[in-house]
A and B are shown apart, each in its own frame.
Chain A
Amino acid sequence: KNEVEQSPQNLTAQEGEFITINCSYSVGISALHWLQQHPGGGIVSLFMLSSGKKKHGRLIATINIQEKHSSLHITASHPRDSAVYICAVPSGSARQLTFGSGTQLTVLP
């Protein structure tokens, strides 16, 4: 089974700050997922990436396959970015995901 470590567990930032959330895993993978869980509980898939870097708006995800490490960056953070961010990697089949414990991000105005 793939082990997933996320850091930090909690992060408080001021609006406009650059945010980085890290995710490390133990076993080589085909793709890594970054998810966002809103305060109401709903989950949104942000990125699925297998190499390099992906960008969507102010969000950037990078992955280093050799180091088994991924980062999620948020540029110019905003209070609406406040959520739990979760990384997930396959254990077994592609969608038998193992999830990190999540990073609770709070962006203060």
Chain B
Amino acid sequence: DSGVTQTPKHLITATGQRVTLRCSPRSGDLSVYWYQQSLDQGLQFLIQYYNGEERAKGNILERFSAQQFPDLHSELNLSSLELGDSALYFCASSETVVSPLHFGNGTRLTVT
């Protein structure tokens, strides 16, 4: 058990809808990272937060947004969903940017 909790495990929704994915990092970890894994693109870095502040941004679409709350949990909001947004979304956390990463089990999003 990595100590990183992601909810929900599975999400099925329709095109055009909006969903929120939640991540609770491992106790003591200040950094949270979001990654997307799709069949055609593989794993891609989306965004990083450190202690509530955005630190790095990757291939995150404008329709997607994220935040990290004072209790350090993070949410990834996906709006105006398209079929191509169907993917596994992983959250990971680490104590510092040079500490090992701990991954959650992912949220499998299916857009129909």
- Are A and B interaction partners? yes
Instruction: Give Cα distance in the complex from A41 to B9, angstroms.
Output: 11
A93 with B55, Cβ < 8 A, contacts A41-B105, A42-B105 known? yes
Q: Would you call A95 and B88 a contact (CB within 8 A)?
A: no
Q: Would you call A48 and B100 a contact (CB within 8 A)?
A: yes
A99 at the A/B interface (Cβ < 8 Å)?
Answer: yes
How many residues from B make CB contacts under 8 Å with A?
25
* Chain B 93-109 residues near chain A, CB threshold 8 A: 94, 97-98, 100-103, 105-106, 108
Q: Would you call B102 and A99 a contact (CB within 8 A)?
A: no
- Which residue in chain B gives the minimum CB-CB distance to A99? B43
Counting contact residues on chain A (CB < 8 A from B), the size range is 20 to 34
CB distance from B26 to the nearest CB of A (A): 12
Q: Would you call A95 and B94 a contact (CB within 8 A)?
A: yes
Instruction: Give Cα distance in the complex from A64 to B105, angstroms.
Output: 31
CB distance from B58 to the nearest CB of A (A): 6
Instruction: Give Cα distance in the complex from A102 to B92, angstroms.
Output: 18
* Chain B 49-63 residues near chain A, CB threshold 8 A: 55-56, 58
Q: Would you call A96 and B101 a contact (CB within 8 A)?
A: no
Q: Which residues of B contact A99 (CB under 8 A)?
A: 42-44
Q: Which residues of B contact A96 (CB under 8 A)?
A: 45, 48, 56, 58
Instruction: Give Cα distance in the complex from A98 to B41, angstroms.
Output: 11
Q: Which residues of B contact A35 (CB under 8 A)?
A: 103
- Which residue in chain A gives the minimum CB-CB distance to B58? A96
CB contact between A48 and one of B33, B44, B101 (< 8 Å): that residue: B101
* Chain B 11-57 residues near chain A, CB threshold 8 A: 31, 33, 35, 42-45, 48, 55-56
Instruction: Give Cα distance in the complex from A95 to B95, angstroms.
Output: 12
B80 at the A/B interface (Cβ < 8 Å)?
Answer: no
B77 at the A/B interface (Cβ < 8 Å)?
Answer: no
B2 at the A/B interface (Cβ < 8 Å)?
Answer: yes
CB contact between A45 and one of B31, B35, B56, B102 (< 8 Å): that residue: B102
A93 with B106, Cβ < 8 A, contacts A88-B43, A101-B42 known? no
